[in-house]
Structure 1
Amino acid sequence: MGDPAEDRGKLTSQQELCVSDKHATKRPCCSTLKLFIVALSFAYFSKVLSGTYMKSAITQIERRFDLSSSLIGLIDGSFEMGNLLFLAVVSHFGAKLHRPRLIAVGCFLMAVGSFLTGLPHFFMGRYTFDTVIQGSMNDIVHTSYLIEELYCAPVCLCMIPSVDCVRDSSSHMWIYVFLGNALRGIGETPVTPLGISYIDDFAKAENSAFYIACLQTITLLGPMFGFLLGSLCASLYVDIGYVDLETVTITPKDARWVGAWWLGFLVSSVIMLLSGIPFWFLPRSLPKQGEENKLPPSSPTQDGTENNNATSHQAMTLAEIAKGFIPSLKKLLSTPAYFLLLCGSLLKFNSFIGLLTFKAKYMEQQFGQSAARANFLIGVLNLPVVAVGIFLGGLLMKRYKLGVVSGAQLSFVTSFMAYLLLLLQFGTKCDNVQVAGLTVSYNGTPGVVYNGNLWSECNRDCSCLAGEWDPVCSDNGITYTSPCLAGCSSSTGYGKNTVFHNCSCVLSSAPEGSMSVILGQCPRSRECSRSFTSYMAVSVLSSFINSLGTTPGYMVIIRCIKPELKSLALGIQTLVMRTLGGIPAPVYFGALIDSTCLRWGIKKCGGRGAFHCVCGLTPMCACVQVCLNMNNQQCCDVSYPILKQGESGSPFYWANTTCI
């Protein structure tokens, strides 16, 4: 075999980068790194599509399984619980193993978890909602006692025959949603820390931030399509294909509507399964970008392992890797800048997760939007500007070669501006829905304090069931919880077109108006529509400004630690975010929303179901969001001088840590 230098001289410039040594072992081309970035982008797209679809389907799952907001928040947090089990271990051990194949295994587990999440639909019966209207899928037999439930009549409730409760066998099916979401979290464990560290190890230092910015920008297409998929599924009835939709008397804006929540999980499962295939064919390590011809055949790569072509390669044992875990963790957490930035990121992440989880529900309850429209607007307005902001943030770092301190300054300024816009965002709101006996009195007087009394002089002699929720709307703009409680004594029409007449409570609240009511809640006022437009405008602007500092803030964290600690640092950051942010935030935000509820659904065998009407949601959510963001700003204020001293080489900075 000829001299390696002579052989290389006969090859083209592109082939030079692919030839290894005199053994003619081919070294991965520099383009392999770009192939990895493309594959990782698709994996990121898939995982965040599934995650954001879960967020968009929260309301549908809550109604389908009759759950409270706090419990649905716990189910949503099960993803982070799965991450918690393996994240630190995978981040530490995975850096020494075959990272692309670990990512492939993770994609497969995410696909299985997503499929398991949507599986309960096929083992549950048809969805039934509480209604007394004939012509729906819950058709009523014309018995006298049911007619008395529907209309106001002086009949004693003791005449209504009791029906034995038969507990629904699918009442605990939500556990499978919990487990599937947790399995998806386990599968996501290796994707982020190992993927980012792989890029940073083998890319040029000046290209690393740009590559990661491109990755995050492409990734944000996932949430956009996730919310659009959620919008589509929310507009489809849950049992589509199994029932005649003409017989369904409720609309997507109704609090009892449940969309085809299961369909999106099946779609995302297939996408995630496909995203894992390329990683099985990618190499364990690559030559450093730009140094393909400079590394000796036996030189160590950036991940701490020797080049694949070295004949003297000795793989590290698991015992040796485990022995260095505790010292590495101690060294990492003893870094002042990293620790303070971690605390600030945690507070910001709590605010972000709480808002993202219930943003669609907030838009439903506060502005009267349907779940489908809320998800659609988030997908086409908020997320695209976030993608642009993240890309521009990475481009600014590359164009002006921003260092650690400059990156921290940019991240701080954008975060502070977004915080100010948050205060303005929660200043736009709508008045509460006018529901007789809940938010207004039966004569239409606003500002009534809710005392749990749905009875008035106009319906006191009616044999109504107080637990009914079949809302009707009158011409005076007041919603009544049922035709009976509105004092109606007759009706015309059929199914969705049913109109109730001779409603005594409507007469008392609007003497000059109609005494009839129609099905459904009353629409919001025009002032509410204008407030919603202002809310979305401020929300989009806040999202853009906040996203400008995402990439600089991310790079500050991984650039102020030793290179061999990067995978562990990213893993610990993700672990802390998921443990102290991703798990508790949906729960306490959900409990906060539950505390504002004025009208709860009732399960078949008693007990509280999903809620129907809320009050005071804006000030309570705003208070929590403002407090979390204020503490985040304080952490940024403290960490800035530490970063400044670290860059100038001050002894105050951790001795074993240097800013790259």
Structure 2
Amino acid sequence: MEGKATPQQAKDGLSFMDKSLGSHPMKRISLTLSKLKMFLIALAFSYFAKGFSGSYMKSMMTQIERRFEIPSSVAGLIDGSFEIGNLLVLVLVSYLGPKVHRPKVIAVGCFIMSIGAFLSVVPHFIMGRYNFKSIADSMANSSASVSACSPESPLHNGTGNLDALECEKAASSSLWVFVLAGNLLRGIGEAPIMPLGMSYIDDFSTEENSAFYIGTVRSVGMFGPTLGFLLGALCANLWVDIGMIDLDTLTINSKDTRWVGAWWIGLLLGGGLSFMASLPFWFLPYSLPKEGEVEVIKKSSDVFTITKEGNGKTEPPNSTPSRPQLKISEAAKEFFPALKKLFGNSIYLVYLLLTVLQFNSLVGMITYEPKFMEQQFNISISRAIFLIGVILLPITVVGMFLGGFLIKKLKLNTPAMAKFACISFLLAYLVNLLYFATNCQVLQVAGLTVNYSGVKEPSFSQIEPLSACNADCSCEDNHWDPVCGSNGITYMSACLAGCRGSVGSGKDMVFHNCSCVGESGPGNFSAVLGQCQRDSCTKNLPYFLLMLSVVSFILALGGTPLYMLIFRTVSPELKSFAVGIETLCGRVLGGLPAPIYYGALIDLTCLKWSKKTCGGSGTCRMYDTKAFRNVYLGLNSSIRLASCLLYIIICVLIMRRFRRDHKKKNTNGVPEGTSFKVSTSAPKKEDTASGETSVHGDTYL
């Protein structure tokens, strides 16, 4: 019969396969599976590499902010440059994804990421050493008593005598542009990894394994951010110029807001990891047979294929799928119809809005969480980063993995996944509101948050930095070199504390005969280097970490079911494009603006700005912790409240479409539970008008 193989042909085909594969015909199936597993391992490692570099960069934003003397809004712009890089290529890469060699495109992306990481490190090697102005540092080699309250104090001679050449050298802080450019390149390189990688997995794995594979890859990839934050904690605790100076001579520690950690070390390592991640993708094929099928075997002009449905039949060479040729003109012509088809899907549109809001909340939180913990709970920035790395991120990994496992184990259909994600997020939001219960008092700083008698005024703006107790000291009222008085009040400098003598040197220097310390009551009128501790604030830290862990676990648990909706609500040929558009919208409308406006609003809560050597404001030295908390937590809660409404809407839309398509299946005599795809020769009028049907009359759930 025409089109069917004779028994002799089938026998010859099997004989050829036996000769080619030896005595084990199933070796070819194992080889196919091994290629898919190799791709999964390579993709997981690329996720690890990009997560490592990304989380490390975010953990170092405070260090970069201090090193280059820039406000949080500019630091947010540097952080947002990653999203700008994504914007430049993401749509093109996602749309052309199925038409190009996806593994090789991912390889190029990883290589570009490595170049970006190395470029970001360049300023460290050309800026010179980092210097800060401190009376203890200036008199580190002197054993004589130092009077801070004196015009002859070392601190009074540092700003007025700089020539043009020295100021030009100080202007090297503008080299932060290199960090921005490197972060932008990382964004360009990262763009193809998620849309092309996820669509590749979904194309060549079975439907029941797809969610599990994707959840596993994302979970393994989360170890990258975990180690990135751990390395960030280590590097934040190392001096920026480690190896260039004697660390024993430093007069400040990592709790000081002038401290700058070794922000550049992790970027070198991240660049190396990204380069290594690019290597395996060069050796992976353009496509694979569907999981469970046998790969095509070629010998001369004969091609034999056996599938699990084929029952040993042979197929002619013409049946072998060939790699489609990419034509730019045809791709451009099909772009807008494909975009219209996506945006005609109301579920996908709501999903996009939800993604934008979640990106805003997530990026804003990750970028400024270490700074929030530092200011709110009186801990060093390195400890805050460490706690995020060892507690928050592992819990997120477990939640993401468990979410994918539950989809596979319980065989959740699309409506069930939507309900699961919605309930998880609503529960997490309720726990999120408890954050506001963990508050901390504002640090008492004379002339800034309290007057020199220790009394808090109704408004910080009514407090003056100078007082009668230091009027004869000729102090710089904009200098930040804090000391802690014996009365428990912090003074912006030993000069402003009115200290007229000292004992010891370096970090052990103790000031005495401080006239302003006596303003608040009897005492020994002494002061030590550094700001005073707020012990009550540290006690609230365990409760905050507990709530943060619970919220992160619940959000991660519902994250994988939510992410799988994008593969179940669009046409199969648009999966890669849909993921790319979703990522693009999240990056552009969430990842790009969030660090900037979060940073700008946080800057509004700053009480004390540093002054650059040649004039102008630098970075913030002290925040109003109460205002900081209200701005930071208030933004997160507001965005997540809007997300709750969208979760409910997307659940309602999916349930309506499910009931409608379920009714159609029963009407057409299709067995229940066979598929969520409904095919009609011509779309109904009401369906077309609503925009729910595809161009070919297919609806996907």
Tell me if both proteins adopt one fold, taking TM over 0.5 as the criterion: yes
- Code of the residue aligned with 2:502 in structure 1: it is S
Distance, in Å, in 2 between the alignment partners of 1:483 and 1:158 is: 12
Q: Which residue of 1 aligns with 2:135?
A: 132
Q: Secondary structure at the match of 2:619?
A: strand
8 Å CA contact 1:136–1:248 kept in 2: the answer is no
Aligned position for 1:654: 692
| Residue deviations 1:460-517 (CA, integer Å, cap 9, x gap) | 2221011111000122221100001001000110100110000011111131x22110
Corresponding residue number in structure 2 for 1:264: 266
The answer on whether the counterparts of 2:373 and 2:379 sit within 8 Å (CA) in structure 1 is yes
2:459 corresponding residue in structure 1: 449
Q: Cα deviation per residue 1:6-48 (whole Å; 9 max; x = unaligned)?
A: 23356568644528xxxxxxx9622210110001000000001
Equivalent-residue separation in structure 2 for 1:494 and 1:141 (angstroms): 6
Residues 440 and 448, structure 1, Cα contact 8 Å, conserved in 2 = no
Q: What number of residue pairs does the alignment pair up?
A: 640
- Aligned pairs for 1:570-585 within 5 A: 570-585=579-594
2:683 aligns with none
State the SS of the aligned residue for 1:270: helix
TM-superposition CA deviations, 1:590-632 (whole Å, max 9, x none): 0011000000000011111010110110111222111111111
1:93 and 2:102 aligned: no
Partner of 1:421: 431
Residue number in structure 1 paired with 2:201: 199
Quote the offset at 1:221 in angstroms: 0.3
CA contact (8 A) 2:139 2:505 kept: no
TM-score (norm 2): 0.87
Separation of aligned partners in 2, 1:598 and 1:240: 31
Mapped pair 1:36 → 2:34: no
Task: State how far apart, in whole Å, the 2-side matches of 1:311 and 1:197 are.
Answer: 18
- Find the aligned partners of 1:450 and 1:374 in 2 and give their Cα distance: 28
| Match status 1:401 vs 2:411 | yes
Change (3 A) 1:32 1:75: same
C-alpha distance in 1, partners of 2:137/2:379?
27
**Cα deviation 1:353-380 (Å, max 9, x = unaligned):** 1011000010111111111101100000
1:311 Cα deviation after fit:
8.5
Structure 1 residue matching 2:136: 3-state secondary structure: coil
Distance 1:492 1:8, change over 3 A: same
Question: How does 1:38-437 map onto structure 2 within 5 Å?
Answer: 38-134=41-137, 150-152=148-150, 162-165=160-163, 166-167=167-168, 168-292=170-294, 310=320, 315-437=325-447
* Aligned-residue offset at 1:153: 6.5
Q: Percent identity?
A: 46
Q: Does 1:541 align with 2:550?
A: yes
Distance 2:259 2:576 in 1: 45
C-alpha displacement of 1:655: 1.3
Q: Distance between the aligned counterparts of 2:578 and 2:75, measured in 1?
A: 31
Provide structure 2 residue ranges, at least 5 long, that are not aligned to the other structure: 1-8, 298-302, 308-316, 662-686
- Given residue 586 of structure 2, which amino acid in structure 1 is its aligned partner? M
Q: The residue matched to 1:172 in structure 2 has which SS?
A: helix
Which of 513, 531, 538 is matched with 2:540 structurally?
Answer: 531
1:186-230 Cα deviation digits (max 9, x unpaired): 001111100000000000000000001111110110110000010
Inter-partner Cα distance in structure 2 for 1:178 and 1:75? 5
**Aligned equivalents of 1:201, 1:579: Cα separation in 2:** 27
Match of 2:498 in 1: 487
The aligned amino acid for 1:453 is: E
SS in 2 for 1:601: strand
Indicate how the Cα distance of structure 1 residues 194 and 172 shifts in structure 2: closer, same or farther if over 3 A, else same: same
Give the match's secondary structure for 1:600.
strand
User: 1:308–1:588: structure 2 CA closer, same or farther, 3 Å change rule?
Assistant: farther
Task: Give the direction of change, closer, same or farther, for the CA distance of 1:247–1:4 in structure 2 (3 Å limit).
Answer: same
Q: Partners in 1 of 2:328 and 2:255 — Cα distance?
A: 56
Name the SS of the counterpart of 1:439 in structure 2.
coil
CA deviation digits over 1:384-422, x for unaligned, max 9? 110011111111111111111111111111111111111
Measure the CA separation in 2 of the matches of 1:308 and 1:395.
40
- CA distance 1:600–1:308, change in 2 (3 Å): farther
Distance 1:581 1:629 in 2: 13
Residues 241 and 39 of structure 1, relative CA distance in 2, 3 Å threshold: same
Q: 1:636 aligns with which of 647, 652, 655?
A: 647
Q: Which residue of 2 aligns with 1:440?
A: 450
Distance 1:592 1:647 in 2: 43
78-87 or 501-510: which moved more? 501-510
| Residue type at the aligned position of 2:592 | I
Q: 2:442 and 2:156 mapped to 1: Cα distance?
A: 35
- The structure with the larger Rg is 2
Q: Which range is displaced more, 28-37 or 487-496? A: 28-37
8 A Cα contact 1:646 1:653, kept in partner: no
Q: Is the 8 A contact 1:441 1:448 kept in 2?
A: no
The 1:240/1:437 distance shift into structure 2, 3 A limit, reads same
10-19 or 362-371: which moved more?
10-19
Which of residues 516, 521, 524 is equivalent to 1:505? Answer: 516
CA distance 1:135–1:406, shift in 2 (3 Å): same
- How many angstroms apart in 2 are the aligned matches of 1:485 and 1:620? 31
TM-score using structure 1 length: 0.92
Summarize the Cα distance change of 1:556–1:161 in structure 2 as closer, same or farther, 3 Å threshold. Answer: closer
The structure-2 alpha-carbon separation of the partners of 1:136 and 1:216, relative to structure 1 and needing over 3 Å to count, comes to farther
Q: Deviations over 1:529-584 (max 9, x none)?
A: 22111111111111111111000000012211000000000000010010000110
Provide the rounded CA distance (Å) in 2 between the counterparts of 1:173 and 1:221. Answer: 31
Q: For structure 1, which segment, 288-297 or 102-111, has the greater mean C-alpha deviation from structure 2 after superposition? A: 288-297
Contact kept, 8 Å, 1:471 with 1:481, in 2: the verdict is yes
Deviation at 1:136, TM superposition (A): 7.1
Change beyond 3 A, Cα 1:322–1:159:
closer
What is aligned with 1:591?
600
Q: 2:187 corresponds to which letter in structure 1?
A: G
Q: Is the 8 A contact 2:142 2:505 kept in 1?
A: no
CA distance in 1, matches of 2:253, 2:159: 31
- Please tell me whether the aligned partners of residues 642 and 653 of structure 1 are also in contact (alpha carbons under 8 angstroms): no
Query: Is the alpha carbon distance of 1:109 and 1:154 closer, same or farther for their aligned partners in structure 2, counting shifts above 3 Å?
Result: closer
Q: Write the letter of the residue equivalent to 2:409.
A: R
Aligned to 1:303: none
Secondary structure of the 1:599 match is strand
